């Protein structure tokens, strides 16, 4: 019953936040702000859960600090990236497709995000209820992987931002981590979810949270992440991006498949 209560608490809290940004986007016509709320929603849920769970306090503090660093970094990055900019092309396209039903459908889309965020927050309940005072190698590995994911995603975002600032518009970033993955930022975001699953495994019933990394893999590769970005890049960059696709891993960082002149890819 506790899990049901905390799931509903998470949903209603995030749902209210989503309703607020939906009202805001009615005014400014920029639905991209939903990504910022999505990013910080996990920190909000984890903090709320900590008041209703009875796990080991040290574990609680470690998890909340790491989750907060992860959420705040991503939220701040998205805020800076979107502030004063035009609406993300993904949402502009949705408005066109939905036509007269755009506002209603956008509301439903935002609230679906709230349901998904609440469902993905369930592992935090299991971890925060873990009363064991011992930290296994598996759990420590999970904490380390959260830091790796946090740092890796930050580096990928920084490299892309720096590339865009120094290279004429229309280029394709293939430097640093982007030389080994077409979407290293998405990969490291997914790695955090793998880490959360590993930490949850050490708690009672933690194995049920396997759906989190699997669901995020699906979302990042087939829904809002890789698929949508790739379609846009092929449409706007043409053969240059297709060549990049042939030589570079889509998701998991991996050595390039064949050597090509970088001038051909940029």
pLDDT in tens, 22-50: 999 888 888 888 999 999 999 999 999 99
pTM: 0.90
Residues 140 and 263 in one domain: yes
Cα separation, 251 vs 184, in Å, equals 6
Residues 102 and 23 in one domain: yes
Of 100, 133, 166, the domain-final residue = 133
Residues 232 and 213 in one domain: yes
Residues 82 and 113 in one domain: yes
Residues 210 and 182 in one domain: yes
Of 98, 133, 168, the domain-final residue = 133
Overall number of domains in the chain: 2
Residues 155 and 262 in one domain: yes
Of 117, 133, 149, the domain-final residue = 133
Which domain does 249 fall in, by range? 135-266
DSSP sequence for the chain: -HHHHHHHHHHHHHHHHHHHHHHHHHHH--TTHHHHHHHHHHHHHHHHHHTT--S-HHHHHHHHHHHHHHHHHHHHHHHHHHTTSPPPHHHHHHHHHHGGGHHHHHHHHHHHHHHHHHHHTHHHHHHHT-------HHHHHHHHHHHHHHHHHHHHHHHHHHHHHHS-TT----SGGGGT-S-HHHHHHHHHHHHHHHHHHTSTTGGGGGHHHHHHHHIIIIISSHHHHHHHHHHHHTHHHHHHHHHS-SSS----SS---HHHH-
Residues 54 and 83 in one domain: yes
Residues 185 and 108 in one domain: no
pLDDT at position 265: 42
The one-digit pLDDT tens for each residue of the chain (266 residues) are 788 999 999 999 999 999 999 999 888 888 888 999 999 999 999 999 999 999 999 999 999 999 999 999 999 999 888 777 777 777 887 888 898 898 999 999 999 999 999 999 999 999 999 999 999 999 999 999 999 999 999 999 999 999 988 887 778 898 999 999 999 999 999 999 999 999 999 999 999 999 999 999 999 999 878 888 888 889 888 888 999 999 999 999 998 766 444 444 43
pLDDT at position 140: 97
44-54: per-residue pLDDT in tens?
Answer: 999 999 999 99
């Amino acid at each position: 019953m506790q899990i049901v209560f905390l799931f509903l608490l998470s949903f209603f809290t995030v749902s209210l936040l989503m309703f607020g940004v939906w009202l805001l986007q009615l005014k400014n016509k920029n639905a991209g702000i939903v990504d910022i709320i999505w990013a910080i929603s996990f920190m909000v849920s984890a903090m709320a859960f900590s008041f209703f769970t009875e796990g080991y306090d040290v574990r609680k503090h470690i998890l909340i600090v790491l989750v907060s660093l992860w959420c705040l970094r991503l939220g701040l990055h998205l805020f800076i990236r979107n502030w004063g900019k035009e609406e993300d092309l993904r949402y502009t396209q949705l408005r066109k497709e939905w036509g007269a039903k755009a506002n209603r459908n956008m509301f439903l889309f935002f609230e679906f995000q709230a349901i998904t965020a609440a469902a993905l927050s369930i592992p935090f309940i299991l971890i925060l209820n873990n009363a064991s005072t011992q930290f296994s190698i598996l759990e420590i590995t999970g904490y380390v992987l959260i830091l790796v994911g946090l740092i890796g995603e930050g580096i990928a975002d920084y490299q892309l931002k720096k590339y865009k600032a120094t290279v004429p518009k229309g280029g394709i970033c293939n430097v640093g981590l982007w030389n080994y993955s077409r979407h290293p930022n998405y990969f490291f975001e997914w790695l955090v979810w793998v880490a959360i699953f590993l930490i949850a495994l050490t708690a009672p019933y933690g194995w049920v949270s396997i759906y989190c990394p699997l669901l995020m893999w699906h979302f990042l590769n087939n829904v809002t992440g890789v698929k949508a970005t790739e379609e846009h890049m092929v449409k706007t960059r043409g053969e240059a991006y297709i060549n990049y696709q042939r030589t570079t891993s889509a998701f998991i960082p991996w050595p390039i498949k064949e050597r090509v002149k970088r001038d051909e890819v940029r």
